[in-house]
Amino acid sequence: MLDRAKVVDENFTQYVLSGQLPAARSLLKPEAVGLNADDFLQLFESQLLSRHLDLMARLLKEKNLGFYTIGSSGHEGNAAVAKVFRHTDMAFLHYRSGAFMIQRARHLPKTDPVYDHLLSLMASSEDPIASGRHKVFGSVPLFVPPQTSTIASHLPKAVGTAVSITRAKELALASKLPYDSVILCSFGDASLNHSTTQGALNAAQWVAYQHYPLPLVFICEDNGIGISVTTPKSWVETIIKARPALHYIQADGLNLADVYRAAQEAEQIARVKKQPVFLHIKTVRLLGHAGSDIESQYSTQADIEKNEFNDPLLHSARIILENGYLTAAQIVQRYEAARKEVAVKMEQAMQRPRLTSAAAVMKSVVPPPAPVKIPPLPSDKTRAEIFGAQYSQLKIKRNLSQMINLGLTDLLLQYPNALVFGEDVAKKGGVYRVTAGLMEKFGQRRVFDSLLDEQTILGHAIGFAQNGFLPIPEIQFLAYLHNAEDQVRGEAATLSFFSNGQYTNPMIIRIAGLAYQKGFGGHFHNDNSLAVLRDIPGVIIACPSNGLDAVKMLRTCAQLAYQQQRVVAFIEPIALYMTKDLHKEGDGEWLFEYPRLEETLALDEIGVYGTSNELAIITYGNGYYLARQAAQELEQKQKLKVKIIDLRWLAPLPEQAILREVKACKRVLIVDECRKTGSISEALITLLVENLNPLPQIKRITGQDSFIPLGDAWKYVLPSKEDIIKALG
């Protein structure tokens, strides 16, 4: 029979009434772990409600009323974990956490997790967490940020959040989480094999190995299979027990008392000893991976029925009968009462509205402003103390690298919750010395080195941000971002969207990038593509071409992250870090004075150099530097005046400012150092074509659709000053 949901449903009543119940895998009794009859029956009720929500999800899908059928059946033992931990212990949950959510909601009696779950299943706009955008487990009052993929991508931020608890206490900051909180993170045995999980476990061990407090519980709910791929017997315990600095605890997920016992032990280690725990709950998966999954295609009928007979609800029923809490008839009565409760609330949820417009769907792509004020600018006295000898020399003109360093210094002064971290940023001061001296000024609790793992860096940023910090992580090279792009796309950028703006993780991701390093490093250090960032909704991309703009834009980015709760990517052109001269050696025209503290550049503010109603160049980064060189030669040799527009902000594009500056021009040249395919030039041409009438003559110069080679060959695949002159001459 293909409808295993119906089989499992009917089996429960039949087996309970007949007394045909599975034998115990563990003999631990409820009272031995501190569970009385009322406690156990409460957990059982959470299990029942979770099961009937799964069954209802299948019925709703059959009637085209519901849209999600991945359920929690077989995993209902996680209700005991929820009973042990506080509702303020932030939980990053696996998608099989229905019973956990129902049990956790008992900490706050006014919540109704069953009704909320049904609203989510039917994609109602009144779903209190995602407002119909996705079926997720999440709740602000229950400290459960929503997870969407949950195939390991949430583990790095769980580690980061756990680290943030102690860091907030060390810095005496007003943490969103209580200082004695524990972080929970659940996932399946198949996800354990994901590289992201391995990185997160390694990061947790790395922190704990150095005796830094890490109140974190990894909860691996092991049902022995990932969709259709079985997990080798004893694989999980074998590989985890061999890991240092990580406590391993195993529990029988079919016995609520044993899960409760293991969860208590895990809590003691995590909350009191502040050490990470791997809680391994061995359970079963029922009803397949999802409603569309036909288990008989990859499992034998005997194996399917064996798992179904090991139903954790049947094990709970056996324990109830053995201890005389209820009769068989009373157990079935409670089972049917749970069915009725779900059905009644389903009828109510069916009447609730859904999203009906693009505007409604996109409302939370950009998070709402936080009800906070920007911290006051640091005083002259404070700045003088921190800057030291540099303070009297701020009028000295400096290059891009030095200016960013000074700008970060002022940000760390102004924002006490700001942190700077990444590979080599502390003692070494970064590969290009951009962060040199910051650790000495602010200490290693605010400026610190990370593991050589971009997923961990960005995971820490997300976790810190969710606990009230303003993270400023550094990705050492743009090419390295690809190792962790899902931490931006699948986690950081989606959190506001899938929580209706209730959860946010603002940050400024500093990325050394782009090309023109004249042969150094090849592709791995000269990545000239921003497409990976440009197509992520809600992410702001800033790209300064010079030190003066960089400082002002950094200040704006900090305001956008702190108050507007935005995720910002700050692209720093490596080739311009140390650049001093513009036209000839010794002219010093690419060195700038440090701007006054109050000076910023608005998100839609472009740079304009020169005046011309004939020619305009639209560009950014290295392209602006080259365009300035080309403009001088064009004017001197061909008497052509050129207006140069420095975009500064690459997402969202400052469209109205661009159109305003070029609407009177007869010719427009776009100079885009990124690769031709997927470059910003495509969006710029579209913008001009759709909005200008009459349309100017439009040309573009871009990088070739090539990776950057080593040696002098770079010049053949990137735009040059000569290319610009030729295009306009």
> Residue 729 — very low, low, confident or very high, per pLDDT cuts 50/70/90?
confident
d(CA 181, CA 271): 7
Q: Name the region of 255 (left: φ>0; alpha: ψ -120 to 50; beta: rest).
A: beta
Query: What was the pLDDT predicted at 2?
Result: 66
**Nearest residue to 254 (alpha-carbon basis) of 214, 224, 291:** 224
Both ends of the chain: CA-CA distance in Å? 76
Q: Which CATH number fits domain 607-728: 3.40.50.920, 2.60.40.1180, 3.50.50.60, 3.40.50.1170?
A: 3.40.50.920
* Chain position carrying tokens 């959190």: 495
Q: What percent of the chain has pLDDT over 90?
A: 94
Q: Averaged over 235-240, what is the pLDDT? A: 97
This prediction's pTM: 0.96
Closest CA to 578 of 698, 313, 399: 399
Q: Residues 700, 497: contact at Cβ < 8 Å?
A: no
pLDDT at 536: 97
Helices (H), 310-379: 312-322, 328-350, 358-362
The tens digit of pLDDT for each residue in 563-576 reads 999 999 999 999 99
What confidence score (pLDDT) does residue 519 get?
75
**CA–CA–CA angle 159, 221, 106 (5° rounding):** 80
- Is the link from the previous residue into 537 a cis peptide, with omega within 30 of 0? no
The average pLDDT across 386-400 equals 94
CA 527, 531, 534, 537 dihedral sign is negative
**In the predicted model, what is the mean pLDDT of residues 470-485?**
96
Beta carbons within 8 Å of 466's beta carbon, 6+ residues apart: 90, 145, 157, 161, 164, 176, 495, 503, 504, 505
Six-digit token pair at 405?
Answer: 């360093």
Q: In what order do the strands lie in the sheet with 277-282?
A: 91-92, 183-188, 216-222, 277-282, 247-252
User: Both tokens of residue 503?
Assistant: 């959860």
**Cα–Cα dist 220/428, whole Å:** 38
Strand partners, 221: 188, 281
Copy the structure tokens of residue 369: 């402003």
pLDDT-derived band at 27 (thresholds 50, 70, 90) equals confident
Task: Indicate the pLDDT class of residue 277, thresholds 50, 70 and 90.
Answer: very high
Average pLDDT across the chain, whole number: 96
Q: Is the dihedral of CA 561, 566, 569, 572 positive or negative?
A: negative
Structure tokens at 527: 């990545």
Domain ranges of the chain: 36-362, 380-576, 607-728
pLDDT band at 523 (very low <50, low <70, confident <90, very high): confident
Q: Quick one: which of 215, 206, 93, 208 has its CA closest to 164?
A: 215
pLDDT score at 1: 55
Q: Of 614, 423, 387, which is closest to residue 510 (Cα–Cα)?
A: 423
3-state secondary structure of 417: coil
- The CATH number of 36-362, from 3.20.20.140, 3.30.160.20, 3.30.70.100, 3.40.50.970, is 3.40.50.970
For residue 308, what are the CA distances in angstroms to 10, 74, 612? 11, 9, 77
- Those residues whose C-beta lies under 8 Å from the C-beta of residue 186, and which sit 6 or more positions away, are 78, 91, 92, 93, 94, 97, 100, 219, 220, 221
3-state secondary structure of 665: coil
User: Is the CB of residue 629 less than 8 Å from the CB of residue 582?
Assistant: yes
pLDDT computed for residue 291 by the predictor? 83
| 380-576 and 607-728 in the same fold | yes
Q: How confident is the model at residue 613 (pLDDT cuts 50, 70, 90)?
A: confident
Is the distance from CB of 216 to CB of 245 less than 8 angstroms? no
Give residue 447's pLDDT: 98
- What secondary structure letter does DSSP report for 297? G
For the ranges 63-72, 240-249, 545-554, 669-678, the lowest mean pLDDT is seen at 63-72
- Mean pLDDT, range 10-38, rounded to an integer: 95
Residue for token pair 């402003």:
369
Q: Which residues contact 333 (CB under 8 A, 6 or more apart)?
A: none
CATH code given to domain 380-576: 3.40.50.970
Q: Cis bond leading into 694, ω under 30°?
A: yes
Q: What pLDDT score was predicted for residue 47?
A: 98
pLDDT band, very low/low/confident/very high, at 292 (cuts 50, 70, 90) = confident
- Encode pLDDT of 574-584 as tens digits: 999 999 999 99
Higher pLDDT, 85 or 28: 85
